[in-house]
Chain A
Amino acid sequence: MGAAYGKDVVEFSREFRPALMAFFLRRVRDHAEAEDLTQEVFSRIAAQPDMTMRSGSAYLFQIAANLLRDRARRQQVRRNYRETLGQIDGETVELIDPFRVTAGRSSIAALRAALDELDATTSAIFVLYRLEYMSKDVIADSFGITVRTVEKHLTKATARLTARLGDAI
């Protein structure tokens, strides 16, 4: 049930940026660096000439893991080198894709149920942005609301779904 093939950078960013940030935030001290590393993953993905290679989260997180290793190599002289490297080596399996979702039927059914519990407009806006990759501008225009209001709907939907599905994830 893969992420779509041949996504462009905007779609990739929307799909993976929060998870990549969470991934790096756990592993580097400096949050600005997490942002830089996330950006670098997208740069490398976008530089891929072969579109089919740009699919799949396993590949994406492999790049993220490689970046952490390169960073550890660069910091070779710094005090925390051994500590960082040891940590990465110990996590090899997990690093393939720590956010891989083993979404069984039951949790997809729960997701569906939670979406249905949302207000119809909130649900539609969330689906259009998250799954149809429409821009906030386009959504705001057609619903006759401001971009800020679109963001409020997106936040509300994400918060409710996270709370409802908390234990299933």
Chain B
Amino acid sequence: MNPREPSPERFEAAAAWCVELAEGPLPDDRQRAFDAWLVGSADNLATFERSSALWREVGEAATSPELIDVRERALATFRRRNQWRWARRAVTGRAVAAAAAVLLAFGGTAWWWQSAPDIYRTGVGERRVVMLDDGSRASLDAATEVDVRMRGDRRELHLVSGRAKFDVAKDPLKPFSVRVGDKLVVATGTSFSVEMINGKLRVILYEGRVVVLDQPAAGRTPAEVLPALKGGDEDTALTPGRELVVGISGQSQAQLAKADPVRSLSWEGGQLVFEDEPLSLAVGRINRYSARRVELQGTAGRLRVNGVFNTGDVEAFATGVEETLPVRVIRERDVVMIAPQ
């Protein structure tokens, strides 16, 4: 035997970590124990690497002729054990669940593909809070549609229009993603809002961590949408209290800005707060709440607006804009027009 070969104990310890990691993410205390083991000896990481390489090799060899009969034998053993067991005692709920789990493991996972999405919509001026099946909470702004599909292994949402804030129930094995155009916002357990407005996707992170991806076209790997670096010493991560803005479709440079956590959520309480926002953005939001629409003419959309408005009160918004900005407001029955002076 090679004198530098790890001891059986080291192999056992490395194998135990490999098996534990194969089951899922480690809880914090186990992660610390794993770290302690790794730093305990320089050989530990190398032995762990060998274990995980072996683990992979077994998977790669799964369909080879040499292993097929080993697998058949293992399955035959499993079936025999189950027959004995069911002969021994009455079928309990647990056994039924176990059998169902086995059926699922063998029966493929096609069934959940066919499930239709749950569609949640709000009309103009309407807001709604929805508790989703997984315990997550979705707060829908006015004129919003969110389609929800709870898959066996993931939670897929599609923001079709408007804005929604999500408080995601933690479940690391079922990633929570919101598709917007050809962008994908992926979270595991967190709180964030997603909005479609004027051709842009705006993601505000309140807590935890999300990743915005370019939805891959066939054959391409997904790429993370990274904001531009400004001034060289700026962190480009989307951290809590920040907002990422990027075009809904196509490749465009993303921008990162500070987001006031309270102000940016005022819509949930029926108010819209604008602080030096382009008029075009403000009008896009105001229009979610009123059948009487506001339209912009010429370059008026580029003006900056400040103020607090109650949602649905188009007249107050028109008056506020008229008094503070160099614009003409033309009031018609169904439309309020704002034009540069």
Q: Which residues of A contact B (CB under 8 A)?
A: 1-4, 6, 8-10, 13-19, 21-22, 25-26, 31-32, 35, 38-40, 42-44, 46-50, 53, 57, 59, 62-63, 66, 70, 73-74, 76-77, 99, 101, 103, 107-109, 111-112, 115-116, 120, 123-124, 127-128, 130-139, 141-144, 151, 154-163, 165-166, 169
Contacts and interface: CB of A to CB of B under 8 A. Distances in A.
B175 interface: yes
Interface stretch (B65-73, B260-268, B327-335): B65-73
Contact of B98 (A35, A50, A137, A163): A137
B175 A17 contact: no
Contact of A99 (B31, B56, B82): B56
A10 B59 CA distance: 14
Interface string B205-246: 000000101011010011110100100110111000000000
Given A50-B218, A131-B62, A141-B98, A151 B25 contact: no
- Shortest Cβ-Cβ A-B pairs, 6 listed: A18-B52, A158-B15, A159-B15, A127-B74, A9-B153, A159-B11
A99 B57 CA distance: 9
Q: Is the interface of A mostly helix, strand, loop or mixed?
A: helix
B66 A25 contact: no
Contacts of A109: 66
Contacts of A44: 186, 211, 213, 222
B324 interface: no
Given A31-B31, A128-B78, A162-B11, A47 B186 contact: yes
A47 B67 contact: no
Given A17-B21, A35-B26, A44-B213, A70 B226 contact: yes
Contact of B58 (A39, A43, A70, A130): A130
Interface of B: 5-6, 8, 11-12, 14-26, 31, 34-35, 38, 45, 47-64, 66-67, 70-71, 73-75, 77-78, 81-82, 85, 94-95, 98, 101-102, 105, 109, 152-154, 172-175, 177, 184, 186, 188, 211, 213, 215-216, 218, 221-224, 226, 229, 232-233, 235-237
Given A35-B25, A162-B51, A169-B50, 15 more contacts: A1-B63, A9-B175, A22-B53, A39-B25, A53-B216, A73-B236, A99-B53, A107-B57, A128-B78, A131-B59, A132-B74, A142-B81, A157-B15, A159-B8, A169-B53
30 contacts: A4-B62, A10-B173, A15-B59, A17-B21, A17-B22, A19-B52, A21-B52, A22-B53, A25-B45, A31-B34, A38-B25, A39-B172, A40-B211, A46-B153, A46-B175, A47-B175, A53-B218, A101-B53, A108-B67, A123-B74, A128-B75, A131-B59, A131-B62, A144-B81, A155-B15, A155-B19, A156-B15, A158-B55, A159-B11, A162-B51
B57 A103 contact: yes
Contact of A161 (B58, B60, B85, B211): B58
Q: Is the interface of B mostly helix, strand, loop or mixed?
A: helix
A169 B61 CA distance: 13
A124 B73 contact: yes
Contact of A1 (B31, B52, B64): B64
A59 B229 CA distance: 28
Contacts of A131: 58-59, 62, 67, 71, 74
Nearest to B61: A108
Contact of A31 (B25, B35, B211): B35
Contact of A155 (B12, B53, B105): B12
A112 B61 CA distance: 10
Contacts of B21: 17-18, 21
Contacts of A77: 232-233, 235
A108 B62 CA distance: 10
A122 B102 CA distance: 20
Given A16-B56, A108-B67, A131-B67, A141 B94 contact: yes
A63 B186 CA distance: 15
